[in-house]
């Protein structure tokens, strides 16, 4: 596949901006890609549990070849390279620093399955380097950098798909269409549920950085911290430096669906979120129990996180319930159901296609289709969609951390006259891993 590369690559984080001038000719040609039979050369960045899914799914897509893999952990890098070699019969290039991936002129597209705190900067750097991007949810680690992602995607005319795969799953698409057609009347309340069991992570001491791990690049935009096992691998989700708690982890999927079902493209007028880390004495910073309420004026979105033992609601542990004037709808990975009238009669159900409950292959196929068409309208979860849904998670966490209700200006994406809350719209970035003011 035709690759758009800079004449003189510039290293991200070097204090200089990637040059748009170097891409002018190639971006002008973006609408006239080579024939669809040309192969897309792809790189996967971040090779943990989610990254392993990316490796398998991109490798199986017609017309796509994984030519490079990247991870700060040499063990993960070796496993990823071996997996691709077994799937494609040739070993991919390996990188420990994602900046080297963006300099590689062979690469057309990248997928980003890093911890949350890397999503925005990696996406921006990739766009500046002329790569199209598939980035995992939540799109960003904070609200301000999410807006920078949108600006970069538009400025460099890049296709950026966020990994909110519900947008490409048939039974959820059908359910959302039915809601918008009025199947339960006017929807006045969307409730998102993230009742995913989370056990205590315990305490882990500071230790020397394990051999083969680039801890500096892992931390990236986050503050310098000593290495502990709990701040690495999956448990980074539960620290504010690198994660967003379960509302920004598993909850990001259901938050996106809740907003979609409410048919809201904007952010709410106000938010209040309460909760705590109950029961456990461990290293986790984020809450394991959290309730957030978003006021849209004529409708409300409520989101609940319960990581401790709990009951289901309407048979759902992870999913959504939409309440309308004439009834309600439940939606989760197993299907949807519609209940109507005073007797709450079940009048309709929908099931997922076989094997499609959490299938990402259709979402990745949609991304690659848009890469070839050069039409962001073809994306089912364009960066603006993912950034807006992630912003709801961030609004909830800001309210939770400040312990008060917040008024929000959805046009300006800020808290009017509230300097304390506005400081939490962004973070202090650690040089040279700085999200640029001007992308």
Return all residues near 152 (Cβ < 8 A) that are at least 6 apart: 123, 124, 127, 128, 158, 439
400-to-287, 404, 421 alpha-carbon distances in Å: 9, 7, 11
Q: How far is CA 394 from the centre of its chain?
A: 12
For residue 33, the model assigns a pLDDT of: 40
Round to whole Å and give the CA distance between 13 and 22: 18
Kindly write down the DSSP assignment for every residue of 372-400, as one continuous string.
Answer: HHT-GGG-SSBHHHHHHHHHHHHHHHHHH
pTM above 0.85, yes or no: yes
For residue 197, the model assigns a pLDDT of: 98
For residue 14, the model assigns a pLDDT of: 38
Return all residues near 199 (Cβ < 8 A) that are at least 6 apart: none
From the CB of residue 352, how many other CB atoms can be counted at a distance below 10 Å?
18
Answer whether 112's CB lies under 8 Å from 46's CB: yes
Round to whole Å and give the CA distance between 106 and 121: 21
Answer whether 366's CB lies under 8 Å from 125's CB: no
242-to-35, 54, 115, 239 alpha-carbon distances in Å: 41, 21, 6, 6
Sequence length of the chain is 439
Round to whole Å and give the CA distance between 282 and 200: 7
Answer whether 383's CB lies under 8 Å from 162's CB: yes
The region that residue 100 occupies, defined by phi over 0 for left and psi between -120 and 50 for alpha, beta otherwise, is alpha
For residue 354, the model assigns a pLDDT of: 74
Write the burial class of residue 217 (CB in 10 Å: 0-12 exposed, 13-18 middle, 19+ buried): middle
Domains defined for the chain, CATH in brackets = 21-166+360-382 (3.40.50.720), 170-358+389-420 (3.30.360.10)
* 151's tokens: 């600006």
Round to whole Å and give the CA distance between 350 and 355: 14
pLDDT tens track, the chain, 439 positions: 444 333 233 334 433 333 333 333 333 333 334 444 489 999 999 999 999 999 999 999 999 999 999 999 999 999 999 999 999 999 999 999 999 999 999 999 999 999 999 999 999 999 999 999 999 999 999 999 999 999 999 999 999 999 999 999 999 999 999 999 999 999 999 999 999 999 999 999 999 999 999 999 999 999 999 999 999 999 999 999 999 999 999 999 999 999 999 999 999 999 999 999 999 999 999 999 999 999 999 999 999 999 999 999 999 999 999 999 999 999 999 999 999 999 999 999 999 987 666 689 999 999 999 999 999 999 999 999 999 999 999 999 999 999 999 999 999 999 999 999 999 999 999 999 999 999 9
* 67's tokens: 């030519």
CA-based R_g, the chain, Å: 21
Round to whole Å and give the CA distance between 225 and 1: 41
Answer whether 350's CB lies under 8 Å from 335's CB: yes
Return all residues near 357 (Cβ < 8 A) that are at least 6 apart: 169, 333, 334
């Amino acid at each position: 596949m035709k690759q758009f590369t800079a004449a003189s690559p510039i290293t991200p984080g070097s204090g200089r901006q990637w040059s748009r001038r170097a891409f002018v000719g190639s971006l002008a040609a973006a609408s006239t890609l080579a024939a669809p039979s040309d192969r897309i050369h792809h790189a996967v960045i971040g090779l943990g549990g989610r990254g392993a899914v990316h490796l398998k799914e991109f490798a199986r897509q017609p017309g796509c070849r994984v030519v490079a893999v990247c991870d700060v952990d040499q063990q993960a890098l070796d496993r990823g390279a071996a997996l691709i070699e077994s799937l494609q019969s040739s070993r991919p290039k390996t990188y420990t620093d994602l900046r080297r991936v963006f300099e590689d002129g062979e690469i057309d597209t990248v997928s980003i399955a890093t911890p949350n705190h890397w999503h925005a900067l990696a996406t921006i750097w990739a766009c500046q380097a002329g790569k199209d991007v598939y980035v995992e949810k939540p799109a960003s680690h904070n609200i301000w950098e999410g807006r920078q992602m949108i600006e970069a995607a538009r400025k460099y005319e890049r296709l950026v798909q966020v990994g909110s795969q519900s947008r490409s799953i048939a039974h959820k698409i059908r359910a959302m269409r039915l809601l918008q057609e009025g199947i339960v009347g006017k929807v006045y309340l969307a409730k998102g549920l993230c009742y995913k069991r989370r056990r205590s992570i315990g305490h882990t001491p500071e230790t020397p950085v394990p051999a083969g791990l680039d801890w500096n690049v892992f931390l990236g935009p986050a503050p310098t911290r000593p290495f502990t096992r709990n701040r690495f691998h999956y448990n980074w989700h539960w620290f504010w430096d690198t994660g967003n708690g379960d509302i920004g982890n598993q909850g990001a999927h259901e938050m996106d669906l809740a907003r979609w079902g409410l048919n809201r493209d904007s952010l709410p007028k106000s938010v209040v979120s309460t909760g705590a880390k109950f029961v456990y004495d461990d290293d986790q910073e984020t809450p394991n129990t959290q309730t957030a309420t978003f006021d849209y004026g004529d409708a409300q979105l409520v989101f609940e996180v319960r990581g401790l033992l709990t009951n289901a609601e309407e048979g759902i542990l992870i999913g959504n319930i939409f309440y309308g004037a004439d009834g309600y709808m439940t939606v989760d990975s197993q299907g949807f159901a519609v209940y109507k009238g005073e007797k709450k009669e079940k009048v309709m159900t929908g099931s997922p296609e076989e094997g499609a409950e959490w299938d990402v292959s259709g979402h990745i196929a949609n991304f690659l289709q848009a890469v070839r068409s050069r039409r962001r309208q073809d994306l089912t979860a364009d960066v603006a969609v993912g950034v807006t849904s992630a912003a709801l998670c961030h609004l909830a966490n800001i309210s939770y951390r400040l312990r008060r209700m917040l008024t929000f200006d959805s046009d300006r994406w800020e808290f009017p006259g509230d300097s304390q809350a506005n400081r939490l719209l962004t973070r202090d970035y650690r040089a040279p891993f700085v999200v640029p003011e001007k992308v």
